[in-house]
Structure 1
């Protein structure tokens, strides 16, 4: 019976956060709630809370091939867009998590369409936008190489932020290369 209550509390917490963010997006709330919820301290707290409520044990899964984010480095063109970049791909590709982290947003935004934002353990917050499908739910943990979405040929939005600073294109490429070197 106690486990059932844990699930209900978790669902209500996630629903409340999603409602408050929606109210912020519609201009009903002036407080930047999304910024408050996506600070690294809040993300760490929510991650630990979620894991403790669900009694989720950490397990290691061996991967037989190096999937990683190598394919994200094959873009043919890049242009500045909002706080990130639009990367052009000639073929469709799967998008994988670069490392372990917490999904802090999945949904549709006005400028980047289907978008997923992940707070990674290295302190970076990465938004992947203009995805064609999403493979993870909000406030779930992901491990390196977990599928997070699919992208058909065309533009993919990517924005990386760390310590309130958005990465430039060179830093994004270095981050993607570093992630792949660790796999």
Structure 2
């Protein structure tokens, strides 16, 4: 996060200096900006630095979206596993709480590795397994969209149970869609 702010502040500083110099050259400002920038090399360096940041056409730009379960809907395929499903993801993704609830288990299981189970306020119990990291402790409350873990590319185990019945894949997708719709 700090790097993003540092980058933004640097861009704004360079752009501001370039603007003030242009206004000085046009006679709009009397501020001697060129005297503040000690050498022409400083000015050239700042100008080239600013232009290199602004003229990056081929560089990929990371775009973030609102937090929530929407990314979980982008699985490549699914297969039945134990009481849930193994969902395949081509990229890593953060895992967020679908609703308000209570973390009832965090730990390592034989079949699903690093696993977190949350009982949500509506009575739904969701187990997220094969996580790469866990972000919540057991017996803590979570709010909708709180980060609960991270998953690198690969398989994520997801099991949803309500009223002692495990959801099938279609019901899991519907649940994910409904928790995504609740964000808006």
Q: Per the shorter chain, which TM-score range?
A: 0.5 to 0.7
Give the superposition deviation at 1:122. 1.0
Kindly provide the CA deviation profile for residues 6-60 of structure 1, in whole angstroms up to 9, marking residues without a partner as x.
xxxxxxxxxxxxxxxxxxxxxxxxxxxxxxxxxxxxxxxxxxxxxxxxxxxxxxx
The root-mean-square deviation of aligned C-alpha atoms, in Å, is 0.7
What is aligned with 1:84?
84
Kindly provide the CA deviation profile for residues 62-105 of structure 1, in whole angstroms up to 9, marking residues without a partner as x.
xxx63111000000000000000000000000000001000000
1:5-24, aligned counterparts within 5 Å? none
TM-score between the two structures when normalised by the length of structure 2: 0.64
What is aligned with 1:103?
103
Kindly provide the CA deviation profile for residues 99-158 of structure 1, in whole angstroms up to 9, marking residues without a partner as x.
100000000000000000000011100000000000000000000000000000000000
Q: Any unmatched runs of 5+ in structure 1?
A: 1-64
Q: Which has the larger radius of gyration?
A: 2
Return the alpha-carbon distance in structure 1 between the equivalents of residues 177 and 117 of structure 2. Answer: 19
What is aligned with 1:173?
173
What is aligned with 2:138?
138
- Greater than 2 Å deviation, 4+ residue runs: none
Q: Any unmatched runs of 5+ in structure 2?
A: 1-64
In structure 1, the residue corresponding to 2:73 is in which secondary structure?
Answer: helix
